[in-house]
């Protein structure tokens, strides 16, 4: 673990009042951890935006769809085979008679992973699909 550095910041009173309200809603016990999390969030966002050749990001694509739409199932499977190098694992849950939930864990260059997420989202019959962008954790302390 690296050394802890303390520093002071100047901030308008109404901005810190809003921030304190935010951290209370999120159940933080102090400003420091909330600020550390905001910094980490920005650094993860930077990893996804960096467009560095070979730089690996990690994420999940969560989708809900009706499995009775057979053509959708075929297209979804085809897409996953097209991007097999970027898929670590997937889990399929039958939510009810009609609806399925699928979570795909993805790793690779941000651009490719985003491409897969966009293509899944654009499939006809997908009710909801969302890419969660996270990190390998290697660059975060
Ligand atoms: Ni199912």
Its pTM stands at 0.85
Q: How far is the CA of 120 from the centre of ligand 1 (A)?
A: 16
Taking only the tens place, the pLDDT of each residue in 68-123 is 988 999 999 999 999 999 999 999 999 999 999 999 999 999 999 999 999 999 99
16 contact partners, CB below 8 Å, separation of at least 6 = none
Each domain of the chain, given as residue ranges in start order, spans 13-50, 54-135
Mean pLDDT of the chain: 94
Taking only the tens place, the pLDDT of each residue in 34-72 is 999 999 999 999 989 987 788 899 999 999 999 998 899
Residue whose token pair is 């670590």: 88
pLDDT of residue 1: 60
Protein residues with C-beta less than 5 angstroms from the ion ligand 1: 67, 94, 100
Instruction: Judge whether 125 and 66 are in contact, CB under 8 Å.
Output: yes
Instruction: Judge whether 45 and 133 are in contact, CB under 8 Å.
Output: yes
54-135 CATH pick, 3.30.70.1150, 3.40.50.2300, 3.40.50.150, 3.40.50.2020: 3.30.70.1150
């Amino acid at each position: 673990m690296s050394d802890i550095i303390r520093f002071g910041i100047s901030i308008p009173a109404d901005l810190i009042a809003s921030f304190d309200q935010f951290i209370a809603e999120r159940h933080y016990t102090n400003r420091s951890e909330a600020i550390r999390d905001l910094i980490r969030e920005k650094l993860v966002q930077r990893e996804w935006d960096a467009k560095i050749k070979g730089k690996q990001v990690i994420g999940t694509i969560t989708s809900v769809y009706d499995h009775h739409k057979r053509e959708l199932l075929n297209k979804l499977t085809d897409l996953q085979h097209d991007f097999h190098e970027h898929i670590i694992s997937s889990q399929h849950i039958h939510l009810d008679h009609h609806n399925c939930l699928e979570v795909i864990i993805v790793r690779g260059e941000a651009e490719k992973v985003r491409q897969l997420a966009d293509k899944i989202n654009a499939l006809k019959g997908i009710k909801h699909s969302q890419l969660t962008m996270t990190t390998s954790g290697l660059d975060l302390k």
